[in-house]
Structure 1
């Protein structure tokens, strides 16, 4: 029995345990506030170097915060009890570029040659936005963040190529400028927005129909603000047509023991 509130590390450990037990299978935005969250890509060693190069060439949508040893499902640099086979609320399994399965535990699919990559996530700057009175709409409405495939191309690396996926959060123009200032301090969580204003100029036709996640309301006088998103590799994975690749479900992240502040640049 604990005395007083749980520490952040106790919260992250408890949340991962709930995810591991499949007691929580939903989005992780707004949970374990202050903890760094990450996008996940797991693939065979044969393709790891090419994917690593893809991340290096595209550091805004694919900011690396952790890479496992070959065959090791642990991620000690991000949390001492992390198990990459069980600690994501939902996994997507791709075979030959097509989504083949969704599941909550990949223990039976884990291979001795697999490498896990964890990429920074915009959920890590949502706490900073909330602290200055700019709480993202997806948190206010208790839904997953809106995600769209844009027309902004990534730089290809071998088999991996595709357009950039973006998240969208609406703000008034004044608040959008403040949001840009805040998120610029988080380059490992995608940093400053890629675009704000007219969605069609980056290939987005309807904000009410996101490609991933949920729609959020855009109020009168607000403009959509678009940040790069760690779902971008999922488009590249489809194009690469690997025999097997496993990712997180959009919006359902790995919650680490590191602090959002560890990503900040002052």
Structure 2
């Protein structure tokens, strides 16, 4: 059997589609941009598009599909948003009602798919720069936390920001600002490093999403805006139906990481 570490983005998606692979995506298809997914009926799509435009740090738009079209033609021609994510979440009136690996039977003719940038996209660059990425080291999903930072409201959508965390030494944190700041479409530079209570996070060892990772004695938590933010907005705003990726189970595009950077 082919080593999963040698799979490119298309091969990973085909493995998800065929049911031969289902796992969190950190570290998979290194060099390819990973994306958060939100699917909404057309009646809610404009408000959500406006929400993303007003909150580009947690919600950087990579692609928006045509109404009823499950193919993200700009970032992964030939892909299928109904099958190519390893784990989906189904929301009804803001309540999580199911997690599934295939949404073909749930697809509606008025659905619009949104793909949003993800911080997994800069992790290969962090590793290449000699910066540790602890959740990859430990084989875990990235830790993510709800904060008290409010997003700008748009139409029916509002809510607080979610952040992801990677522990680094203070010197490494400064380097990470430079390395990740070039990836504006993947959340860019960190929002904060140090005391998590500033963000309203009470227990760094109990993330709201993902898994806790080891923070060593000489390290501090470093926080980036996170594309799980729309899921909080869905919980608060309660659209009749929404489908998202499960946190850490991303859509992998054909776009290369370097295409998201600016010189």
Normalised TM-score (structure 1) = 0.96
Contact 2:89 2:98 in 1 (8 A): yes
5 Å matches for 1:150-189?
150-189=147-186
5 Å matches for 1:12-27?
12-27=9-24
Query: 2:66 aligned with 1:69, yes or no?
Result: yes
5 Å matches for 1:108-119?
108-119=105-116
CA distance in 2, matches of 1:242, 1:54: 14
> Which residue of 100, 104, 125 maps to 1:103?
100
Question: Which residue of structure 1 lines up, in the alignment, with residue 250 of structure 2?
Answer: 253
Residues 151-202 of structure 1 deviation map (CA, whole Å, 9 limit, x = unaligned): 1110011111111000000000000000011010000000011111000011
Question: Which residue of structure 1 lines up, in the alignment, with residue 262 of structure 2?
Answer: 265
> Which residue of 116, 127, 139 maps to 1:130?
127
Farther off after superposition, 17-26 or 209-218: 17-26
Contact 1:159 1:239 in 2 (8 A): no
CA distance in 1, matches of 2:146, 2:22: 24
Contact 1:37 1:121 in 2 (8 A): yes
Question: Which residue of structure 1 lines up, in the alignment, with residue 77 of structure 2?
Answer: 80
Contact 1:63 1:190 in 2 (8 A): yes
Deviation at 1:223, TM superposition (A): 0.5
CA distance in 1, matches of 2:19, 2:248: 16
Query: 2:237 aligned with 1:240, yes or no?
Result: yes
Query: 2:221 aligned with 1:224, yes or no?
Result: yes
Residues 80-127 of structure 1 deviation map (CA, whole Å, 9 limit, x = unaligned): 221000000000000000001110000000000000000000000001
User: Secondary structure in 2 aligned to 1:52?
Assistant: helix
Deviation at 1:135, TM superposition (A): 2.8
Question: Which residue of structure 1 lines up, in the alignment, with residue 50 of structure 2?
Answer: 53
Large movers: runs of 4+ above 4 Å: none
CA distance in 1, matches of 2:18, 2:97: 23
Question: Which residue of structure 2 lines up, in the alignment, with residue 143 of structure 1?
Answer: 140
CA distance in 2, matches of 1:113, 1:95: 16
Structure 1 gaps of 5+ residues are none
Residues 206-253 of structure 1 deviation map (CA, whole Å, 9 limit, x = unaligned): 111000000000000100000000000000011111110000000000
Deviation at 1:26, TM superposition (A): 1.0
User: Secondary structure in 2 aligned to 1:108?
Assistant: helix
Question: Which residue of structure 2 lines up, in the alignment, with residue 197 of structure 1?
Answer: 194
CA distance in 2, matches of 1:196, 1:140: 20
CA distance in 2, matches of 1:137, 1:241: 34
Normalised TM-score (structure 2) = 0.97
Question: Which residue of structure 2 lines up, in the alignment, with residue 121 of structure 1?
Answer: 118
